[in-house]
Structure 1
């Protein structure tokens, strides 16, 4: 007999772990979680700076390569994505950033009722266990630890002080809706340990008898009966298997894999599917469209004093010292996030709210695959928060082991190009002011000779990289490219939901993990409300309504 569950969740990433926890909490519904990756037993996953070890590790990472970018000298940029319990929350840089109030109000203005700032804030608070305590903006006692960073650094202190001297303001909280200012980031960690979505949510779900978690299984297709999702076909240990969902199949595989699974199932742009040799079962042109990502360009400085991670990591005794500080006290450089300090500022292209984010790192590297720079180095990274460029994700065949084609189309608009150049100029202006200027020997990359807008743009084209924030490929909305409605139901197919970063109609202004967890919370609530309203209605009664929005349990 086929195994049958109330809910099948595809992907144990940031949103999928939340769904598994919330849907199983009262014990009344059975939940199957299918994860393509392994269990999160790699010790580097749980050490904050372990992202440096897992960033290129195919054992826990999909390690995608993007298509050549025409505006970036035809370079193929790298795109990591977690292939492990916790998904990208197990390998990311740990920063907890929600975005701006206007981001969510804009989502609602696009026709997504219930997604304004006032609507999503309670779900952020629901997840959160804020180290500073709860208030109107933050939660206390939730599963997800949000903490101050264990260590401050003199170079980060100097960056913030120089920013104030240059006319920018300071903030100690980037997550109250108005994130403008410079300061230290908070992180998803506690007591020197990463708190991934798996640690926060999935661990307690797995202890329940009504939850099954399978790892190292690849979902090939969503099974449908024409109008409804009935379950999934997946491959485990070389064998093809099936599972049936009584209530809902939830795709939470991320902005790359979720559209790929839909397309392999015949759900997507008919022209793309035909090119890939896939039979069209349901036309949804927006599947795989609307790809957005943050692009960053880096200013690298040679420091006067040997106080950087570069200095510690290049000597054996430095490494021993770092390890001892961590093992004995959970302190030191191994607790470092991917950007200890930074902030959000406005360029002249956005006068009403920040459009550039800075990540300040007390290390530098020309290529992380090859290690850190030999000199004492620090990095000030600038990224545009709301790029206008839109890319695509497309499969090439029905084969689940064939990597999708990821075409980001970075810097395809003039606004994107100008914003990033101006962001570099602002970063330079802060570095030129004391106390930070006194800590810097010289600008190593791109160097002061690179001065004009054209020269800076050329530097961006030659060196800029992704911040690894892909979103939007199954967007929520009302227009022709919308894949899901405001309750995350796939249009035209009953009992099928998408709940991950792919549903964002427009990318949030900042790191995307916190928003993905919030989306998991919202999806869980939608499903529980639907189960209560339609108690007793199983998959046999599923049907889409006349306007193409599914009206079954979800």
Structure 2
């Protein structure tokens, strides 16, 4: 089969690209997704996120290699594996990051990616139900809304943050990011609004767009040095798809570099060790992996307004299931991480370097370990980590997980900022608006000096699911793509997803990935003229 464009991966970026490129009826577009269609009710019910770690059919439970900075522990790295990718399995928080993040991208040798350049694409993507100003769009495909029924404890968190000295911020995506507030979410009418819902579902009937699920890309084939074919496995059969114009890899920070390396595009020594013939020696493929390290403070609070494991909690859950099924309202419209904030770990920081996510339940082990009783949790996340790691092949089998090594907390500055962030987060938990209802669990409340906090963080920290950087853009020898997102030395091939981000944005990465794909679609269209 032959198409003008083949997009590999139907995650947030892939859905945007498929929709935007197929707007031109004269071109044909194939969108390939290894996972199934996004039909599970757990995807569309916002609170279904709580079950995602248990549903491997749509959430791929990847793991890291043992982490030196986490005392040898193996980290959990779930990735969405369905139409919409991780936007179909994430916590739906809409955050763009800081203006300075994108100016830094441009300063690193990527013209056209400064804040003034990307803001129009954030606005183009967005339909904001509440905000209409110079910062926000109201005619885009991606619906951004207020929480329909925010938990009373989320409001108490915001009050506690103000009591602890932070300003209330009603818009984390406006003029400034710092402060505390309720998050806006990618919801619509009480349902999750993933990138697939926003960009793909309305256009599935286009005759020039073919969406293929259950298709695993094995490798990209070059013809005369130009990327022209994708070899895929579907239903046990292998076949090749041909691209007349471009192949666009949108597999994410783990799978995009893995596909390039299986195709002979990557660090020559590693490819040789894996028995892969080198087609183009690109030493930066799989380098620069970084992610937001995160640790969770848990508080016991015997209040059944919070989610929890108890007879009354089960009864409330059953009531919420009925209400959501009948009206798309009520308890199950939560995204759990309903509120949060941004602040500096110390006055010396030029901008906020800590993000908080307030969760209306006791979150233990990514939600995979049930915890009896009720309570709330407070994530403390480092926004600009300096630790860097790698992605490497474990096998040339396309179904094998790659070797993921973020090297969490191996840079001394990262731990110092995490400790300071935990100390400040505790001030919010100790403020009257929250301390009147619950107390920090003994596991962390008894820790006071830096050595104790450092040990506890290493024992408990992990990802908050924002890996980036493994095919980063730039013009230096370790850059994988240029500022047009074209793979260096390989005509006909681009990478468009979070792997091209040279530095992680200061916040949740879904909105930046969608923005990036919106801009990439325009770059691809312009190149075809």
TM bin, normalised by shorter chain, reads: over 0.9
**1:492-549: CA deviations, max 9, x gaps?**
11010000000000000000000110111011000111111xxxxxxxxxxxxxxxxx
**Matching of residues 269-348 of structure 1 within 5 Å:** 269-310=267-308, 315-348=313-346
- Matched position secondary structure for 1:334: helix
Cα drift, residue 335 of structure 1: 1.1
Counterpart position of 1:105: 103
**1:29-74: CA deviations, max 9, x gaps?**
1001111110011111001111111223221122101100011111
Asked whether the 8 Å contact 1:300–1:445 carries over to 2, the reply is: no
1:253 is the counterpart of 2:251: yes
> What is the alpha-carbon distance in structure 2 between the residues aligned to residue 293 and residue 152 of structure 1?
28
The match for 2:178 among 180, 192, 217 is 180
Asked whether the 8 Å contact 2:310–2:372 carries over to 1, the reply is: no
Q: 1:367 to 1:303 in 2, by over 3 A?
A: same
Q: 1:214 to 1:410 in 2, by over 3 A?
A: same
More strand by share: 2
Cα drift, residue 320 of structure 1: 1.6
Counterpart position of 2:465: 468
Cα drift, residue 446 of structure 1: 2.8
> What is the alpha-carbon distance in structure 1 between the residues aligned to residue 213 and residue 382 of structure 2?
36
Asked whether the 8 Å contact 1:20–1:205 carries over to 2, the reply is: no
The match for 2:64 among 60, 63, 66 is 66
Q: 1:148 to 1:128 in 2, by over 3 A?
A: same
Cα drift, residue 137 of structure 1: 0.8
1:514 is the counterpart of 2:528: no
- Matched position secondary structure for 2:124: helix
Structure-2-length-normalised TM-score: 0.97
Structure-1-length-normalised TM-score: 0.93
> What is the alpha-carbon distance in structure 1 between the residues aligned to residue 291 and residue 368 of structure 2?
24
- Matched position secondary structure for 1:64: strand
Q: How many matched pairs?
A: 529
**Matching of residues 396-411 of structure 1 within 5 Å:** 396-411=394-409
Counterpart position of 1:527: 524
Q: 1:46 to 1:350 in 2, by over 3 A?
A: farther
Counterpart position of 1:488: 485
Counterpart position of 1:552: none
Where structure 1 has 5 or more consecutive residues not aligned to the other structure, the ranges are 533-554
1:212 is the counterpart of 2:210: yes
Asked whether the 8 Å contact 1:25–1:205 carries over to 2, the reply is: no
Q: 1:445 to 1:325 in 2, by over 3 A?
A: farther
**Matching of residues 190-205 of structure 1 within 5 Å:** 190-205=188-203
Cα drift, residue 447 of structure 1: 3.4
> What is the alpha-carbon distance in structure 2 between the residues aligned to residue 430 and residue 476 of structure 1?
38
> What is the alpha-carbon distance in structure 2 between the residues aligned to residue 278 and residue 349 of structure 1?
50
Q: 1:369 to 1:98 in 2, by over 3 A?
A: closer
**1:367-395: CA deviations, max 9, x gaps?**
35654421221001101001001111011
> What is the alpha-carbon distance in structure 2 between the residues aligned to residue 116 and residue 242 of structure 1?
38
RMSD between superposed Cα atoms in Å: 1.4
> What is the alpha-carbon distance in structure 2 between the residues aligned to residue 383 and residue 445 of structure 1?
21
Counterpart position of 1:44: 42
Runs of 4+ in 1 over 6 A off after TM superposition: none
The match for 2:381 among 371, 380, 383 is 383
Asked whether the 8 Å contact 1:277–1:397 carries over to 2, the reply is: no
> What is the alpha-carbon distance in structure 1 between the residues aligned to residue 216 and residue 311 of structure 2?
37
Counterpart position of 2:354: 356
**1:85-122: CA deviations, max 9, x gaps?**
11010001100110000000000000100000110010
Counterpart position of 1:422: 420
